[in-house]
Structure 1
Amino acid sequence: MKVAYVTTGHPVAGHDDEREIVLAAWYGAGIEGSPAAWDDPRVDWSSFDAAVVRSTWDYIDSRDGFVAWAHRAGTATRLFNPASVIEWNTDKTYLKDLGVPIVPTCWASPGARFSGKGSSEGGFPDWDEYVVKPAVSAGARGALRTADRVAAEKHAAGLLDEGRTVMIQPYLRTVEHEGELSLLYFGGQFSHAVRRHPMLSDTRRTTEERATLRDPDDDQFALAERVLDQCARRFPGEAPADLLYARVDLVRMPDGEPVLMELEVVEPYLFLRYELAAPDMFAQALVELLRR
């Protein structure tokens, strides 16, 4: 089986330290994996038995183009994850659709205007510390953490002026000691979980210290399963069993309740170095999907 490992020609792909791990595991499972850039017009996607989206981390600079590519590629070969899921998940307004507890979020669409008392879509939230970010983003790009309400409003207004939907959330101090928990699933089956150091924390750590393997608590595992179940309801026949990979990122509220921060089903880092069995499980999940 010949499968494209979908990446990008942008230098950001140089940070992909999981590529060789994945390609080696695929080879061991009888899959010939070849890197291919999503934005390279010379690639014939129909020449592959499947294409797996991995390090396409530059898509936020051209989200519309990336979504259009996904739909084209999905007609030429089997795309994992599917184009419909990619279109939905690359805009964080998907968080409104899942019907599960999420980090409290104030949304503002282009055209909204903030004043000292609020915006055209509702009052600006009153929190001790803010995280303001665009709904189409990766990592912490475009995000601002500040305790200054005026600065938060100014950053939000600037994003709105750029035509971007804005998310305004409280900064949760619980992540300083609790961290963020990422649960990894391959082919709908739980693989492993890691505790991640928060990107917007005051503390800086090395790459090697950015995560540690962790067993989820019962309430965290239950919420992750609920998130995937809600995704399945939205995409019948495509999720969770037909999702090659999914990463569910959770945090705890100050009262201890676990809430969803993000569901990553487009190009998440999979923390494959942290669990010995994970690369082979990932490869086997792909084999099983290709046999269907």
Structure 2
Amino acid sequence: MITPRIALVTTRAARGLDDDMEPLVDALTQAGAQVAVVDWDDATLDWAAFELAVLRSPWDYTQRTDEFLAWLDRASALTRMLNPPDVLRWNADKHYLADLDRAGVAIVPSRFVDVGDDAAAAVDAFLGDFPTFADIVVKPCIGAGSRDAQRHARDSRAAMLAHVERLLAAGREVLLQPYLARVDEAGETALMHFDGRFSHAIRKGPLLRRGNDPTRALFAPEHITPRTPGADELELARRALAAIPFAGPLAYARVDLIRDVDGAPVLLELELAEPSLFFAHGEASAARFADALLAQTRQPR
């Protein structure tokens, strides 16, 4: 029996910060795989030496997007990449939310400000469209871990506009969303799926505080606890995964939900690239994920 060789892809800046890495290495090793933890930008690596490369924590890609996508093309020509490159490209840019919205998935209301748009007009139109919300969230369309995201009071238009213009000036397109205040009490629900099957869920406490500057770290600190999702959350997660415009099921997916003003779940983000999977909060979840990855090594490329 051939021992599958699996690369778990990270970056130097994330070494020691990925809490999922050690339990996943242990689970894969116990399942019979040969595992290497590697940096995506290590030019000395021969990606053809691996049957599988799994994105785990290449968390600097949002600041090096062009370089990262060029690497993705090169590496995926030599080994099987999970998730597949077309999925990763689609999911890396939050414009994917518009695709899911058109497919009938309930999402947090979202508007986009693209490079070249009139930022002031876009902000004013958004405030006019959502007059009852006290706070507005501004975040980059390509971003992770709440980096460069900020919650603004609606009467702080100048600060909000400055944030949008700063991102646009850096060539980064912008997502505007109303801040759904139920998250302050209920938090977010993140539902992990492996091979299309629900594994476990966690509660993530609110991250964006009014008046706080955007984090400059790789990711904002999080308060995580286990959570049993509601039937309505499981159903929305199922619908969101079914609406992904690529063949599935995917080896891994995280569906992040919050509740709207009426208490119904809505999609905040669909994490298909490099999500934290919170193995510590799901019994045997690392082993389930390892089994899903090993099954991929037995599939033809």
How far off its partner does 1:49 sit? 1.0
CA, structure 1 residues 174+71, in 2 after alignment: closer, same or farther (shift >3 Å)? same
* Cα distance in structure 1, aligned partners of 2:69 and 2:119: 31
The aligned counterpart of 1:177 is 185
After TM superposition, list the pairs within 5 Å mapping 1:128-207 onto structure 2: 128-147=134-153, 148-201=156-209
Structure 1 position 97 matched with structure 2 position 105: no
SS of 1:212's equivalent in the other structure is: strand
How far off its partner does 1:69 sit? 1.3
SS of 1:157's equivalent in the other structure is: helix
* Cα distance in structure 2, aligned partners of 1:252 and 1:263: 15
Structure 1 position 235 matched with structure 2 position 246: yes
Structure 1 position 263 matched with structure 2 position 270: yes
SS of 1:71's equivalent in the other structure is: helix
How far off its partner does 1:150 sit? 2.2
The aligned counterpart of 1:59 is 61
| Aligned counterpart for 1:214 among listed residues 227, 236, 241 | 227
How far off its partner does 1:277 sit? 1.1
* Cα distance in structure 2, aligned partners of 1:108 and 1:44: 39
The aligned counterpart of 1:223 is 236
The aligned counterpart of 1:283 is 290
* Structure 1 residue identity aligned to 2:149: A
Of the structure 1 ranges 207-216 and 96-105, higher mean CA displacement relative to structure 2 is found in 207-216
* Cα distance in structure 1, aligned partners of 2:74 and 2:279: 29
* Cα distance in structure 1, aligned partners of 2:144 and 2:36: 24
How far off its partner does 1:70 sit? 1.4
- Equivalenced residue count is 280
* Structure 2 residue identity aligned to 1:282: F
* Cα distance in structure 1, aligned partners of 2:82 and 2:222: 30
How far off its partner does 1:8 sit? 1.0
* Cα distance in structure 1, aligned partners of 2:209 and 2:187: 10
After TM superposition, list the pairs within 5 Å mapping 1:247-262 onto structure 2: 247-262=254-269
Of the structure 1 ranges 105-114 and 39-48, higher mean CA displacement relative to structure 2 is found in 105-114
Report if the CA contact (8 A) 2:110-2:177 is conserved. yes
* Structure 2 residue identity aligned to 1:35: V
The aligned counterpart of 2:52 is 50
Give the TM-score of the pair, scaled to structure 1.
0.91
SS of 2:125's equivalent in the other structure is: coil
How far off its partner does 1:276 sit? 1.8
* Cα distance in structure 1, aligned partners of 2:198 and 2:278: 13
SS of 2:268's equivalent in the other structure is: strand
Q: Deviations over 1:204-238 (max 9, x none)?
A: 9xx9981111111111100000011011xx112xx
Percent identical among aligned pairs is 43
Q: Deviations over 1:51-82 (max 9, x none)?
A: 11101011001112212211221110111111
| Aligned counterpart for 1:71 among listed residues 70, 73, 91 | 73
* Cα distance in structure 1, aligned partners of 2:205 and 2:124: 32
How far off its partner does 1:14 sit? 2.5
The aligned counterpart of 1:3 is 6
Give the TM-score of the pair, scaled to structure 2.
0.88
* Cα distance in structure 1, aligned partners of 2:80 and 2:241: 21
SS of 2:243's equivalent in the other structure is: helix
The aligned counterpart of 2:118 is 113
Report if the CA contact (8 A) 1:92-1:136 is conserved. yes
SS of 1:39's equivalent in the other structure is: coil
Report if the CA contact (8 A) 2:255-2:271 is conserved. yes
Report if the CA contact (8 A) 1:13-1:57 is conserved. no
* Cα distance in structure 2, aligned partners of 1:187 and 1:209: 26
Report if the CA contact (8 A) 1:130-1:149 is conserved. no
